Structure 1
Amino acid sequence: MPGRLARFLLTALFVLFLAFLYGPTFTITILSFQGPDGGLTFPMNGISLHWFGRLFATQAVGDIGAALQRSLALAAMVTVSTVVVSLAAGMAFRRRFPGGTALFYLTLASLIVPSILVSLGVGLLFNLMEWDTAWYSSGFGAQLTWTLPFGLLIMFAVFNRFDRAWEEAARDMGATPWQSFLHVVLPIIAPSVVGIALFGFTLSFDEFARTLLTAGSGNTLPLEILGMTTTVTNPVLYALGTASTALSFLVIGGAILGVRVLRKRGGG
């Protein structure tokens, strides 16, 4: 009996935690399906897709369509760069080289420094160099300080338990280093590469603090949402939150599907 009571209490505590964590998201999702006369709070005034249709219409404040395009383009740039650099660094760190330890800790240091300070530092650097800040330059660099450490940690963990005997077998059969990498190493670590890409996209798409002082005049979607929160008084903002959440789940689902396909091909 005491064991059952303890499990019940722990389960109830976990359910309350989930409700606290995802309750606001569910609330916003529900309120985004209100009718044309809907407001920002309950009770709901009708049920429709009206506010989703208004997403890309001309708003009194903000340009959601342009901001979304910038965020998607920036996330794609960050994703590709994070995957390529993490993969290259993972291959390089398989052997010790002078300065490798210091470089490793320097890379991880960006996770410790507060995000707003990174944004401020990158913005000041561009200002001192008399370069114009923009989402595709300074914003891109600031976001890489956030996504690259995660990609590197994943790749280091993968190669830490990678069996080099597979590469040696390929070399014994006459494969060149590039052929060994493309046909042996890359297929084995492909699920981890997909995971790094997923990290890069999701961390970039909703990044706010590191983009705040580095995006220039072109707002990304999180910055556009911040500007809208003080002026928008209808559920179009909720519809935007629901749509962006759905996009994130779509990307995650696609990544999971990609990993399963790669595992099936590897098993075959």
Structure 2
Amino acid sequence: MRRERRSLGFWLLAAFFGLFVLFLYGPISTIVILSFQGPDGGLTFPMNGVSTHWFANLFERQAVGDFGGSFTRSIELGLLVMAITLVVSVSAGLAFRRRFRGATFLFYLTVASLIVPSILIGLGIGLIFSIAGWQPAWYSSALGAHLTWTLPFGLLIMFAVFNRFDRAYEEAARDLGAGAWQTFRFVVLPLIAPSLVGVALFGFTLSYDEFARTLMTAGSFNTLPLEIYGMTTNVTTPVLYALGTLTTGFSFAIILICLATALILQRRRARHGSDAGKGV
């Protein structure tokens, strides 16, 4: 077969896309490369040898920074935010399927935090805790600040999911004698499961790397983004790049796991649907 010649517009768009990818991942690739500096390496090019010395140094006791503690706090906070975002988003999505008084006002109030500057939200929550005499902490005030960022996204995703959800499945389940909880557990939940993975991914990743909302609410113990920011003024070795490489790799791993889970759930749902069609 004769290949169709690509137009000039195609090559221009391809070049633009290549520049965009370079702009997006160029800084990350630079950090990854410099993290493999030799023991006498510095923070810039040219590289002085190649080794994994700074990755090993990352797990040793540091004069500045608490890598292990901040990483653990970010993971725990991300998991808390993910769980709460998932439960509240699904519950709110189910509630908004029926009209009720004040629904429009409540919706706009929920998504308003997306347009308010992050630093102002963090400052406001920090002031509330200060006025109330409560001690700000990553598991309380920072948790609330992160939820103002993740819940609107989760709610918007669930709105999109339920807007295209076919209620005939629920009606069929009720005709067969299923109760409300059985209908949700055995019919609705399996159908929306891939979307729930997306909500969970949003909740975790948005919390894991959140800086502005955490700055005024974390209290005495830093999360990982705050720790990295503090290290930029004190650490003068590639150990900072090694930390960036590990956290970036961890973020990509979480994304790939969630995407793989969503794909598996989608294929399983499609297979069960085809099996049910054959049975009929």
CA distance in 1, matches of 2:165, 2:9: 41
* Cα drift, residue 3 of structure 1: 7.2
* Matching residue of 1:106: 109
Q: What is the rounded CA distance, in whole Å, between the counterparts of 1:64 and 1:38 in structure 2?
A: 21
* Aligned counterpart, 2:274: none
4+ runs deviating over 4 angstroms: none
User: Aligned letter for 2:94?
Assistant: M
1:121 equivalenced with 2:124 (yes/no): yes
| TM-score, scaled to structure 1 | 0.98
Aligned pairs, how many? 267
SS in 2 for 1:196: helix
2:207 alignment partner in structure 1 = 204
2:231 aligned residue: 228
Of 72, 90, 96 in structure 1, the residue corresponding to residue 93 of structure 2 is 90
- Alignment of 1:158 with 2:161, yes or no, is yes
Normalising by structure 2, we get a TM-score of 0.93
Alignment of 1:1-268 (within 5 A): 4-268=7-271
2:111 alignment partner AA:
L
1:39, distance to aligned residue in structure 2 (A): 0.6
Structure 1: gaps of 5 or more residues: none
Deviation, 1:18, is 1.4
Percent of pairs with identical residues: 66
Code of the residue aligned with 1:208 in structure 2: it is F
How far residue 5 of structure 1 moved from its aligned partner, in angstroms, is 2.2
TM-superposed CA distance for 1:57, in Å, is 1.5
Q: Provide Cα deviations, 1:13-69, integer angstroms capped at 9, x if missing partner.
A: 221121112111000000001111111011111111111111122112110100000
CA distance in 2, matches of 1:16, 1:250: 25
Per-residue Cα deviation, 1:221-255 (whole angstroms, up to 9, x for no partner)? 00000100001000011011110110011101100
Q: Return the alpha-carbon distance in structure 2 between the equivalents of residues 200 and 56 of structure 1.
A: 28
